[in-house]
Amino acid sequence: MLRILIMTFSLIAVVAVNVAANIIPFNGKTTGEIANRLPVLFTPASYVFIIWAVIFMLLAVWIYVHSRRGESTDLYLNNWRAALFVFSCLLNISWILLWHYTFFNWTIVVMFVLLLTLFALYSTYPKQESRQFERLPISIYLGWIFVATIANGNYVLTFHEWNGWGLSNPLWTVISLSVATAIALHFLYHYKDRALNVVFMWAFIGIAVKNGVDELFVSSAALFLTAVIGVSLFVLKKPH
């Protein structure tokens, strides 16, 4: 019971900090306003970030499932999952504070550690298709943090006026989209994870919408790679 209470409090704290960051807002700017200060082409349209509401709701269900089934399953595994989840919540809160108070270099460090933490949590679930629903909230969360990590990295590089080894901003963005696609397909092939791939598609469409005809190269690439992932969901043969 204590484990569930700590997990519940951690989730409530994350939701509260994320909401407060945009209502108060911290340091006079909302999370989105800071993101839109720089011309980062990998940033999706604002509506895409509604996925956070979906993630938080699914995590609430995930905690509820733990509360109902935790005592009948492996205690060590449940405690390990709880510890990873609580740590991920602390990292999420830390990222928000660092982002709003412009410690952008540190946001990269925190985001990367969050990514590793969620992957460790994700890896506690078996790969069998029959068990995929159990890891669904973590799949969607992990998928979004992959996207957010790449976007965060692009933001920090733009903040420091990095020239992308002489590559243009649109070309560098397409390379980032291609890397993201490779990650998504890796999880589809090796982990049979469709939900995570749908998150990438959602983000890519948002990137295309954000860039529109002004950055047609980026928009076209984002839609093309969305289609690649979409087709792969149906035709890619998965190992048994």
Give, for all 240 residues of the chain, the pLDDT tens digit. Answer: 889 999 999 999 999 999 999 999 999 999 999 999 999 999 999 999 999 999 999 999 999 988 887 555 688 888 999 999 999 999 999 999 999 999 999 999 999 999 999 999 999 998 766 567 789 999 999 999 999 999 999 999 999 999 878 889 999 999 999 999 999 999 999 999 999 999 999 999 999 999 999 999 999 999 999 999 999 998 876 544
Using an 8 Å Cβ cutoff, are 3 and 13 in contact?
Answer: no
Instruction: Tell me 162's DSSP state.
Output: -
Residue 94 CA to residue 114 CA, distance in Å, equals 10
Residue 66 corresponds to which tokens in the numbers above? 């733990």
C-alpha radius of gyration, the chain, whole number: 18
Tokens 């020239």 sit at which residue?
163
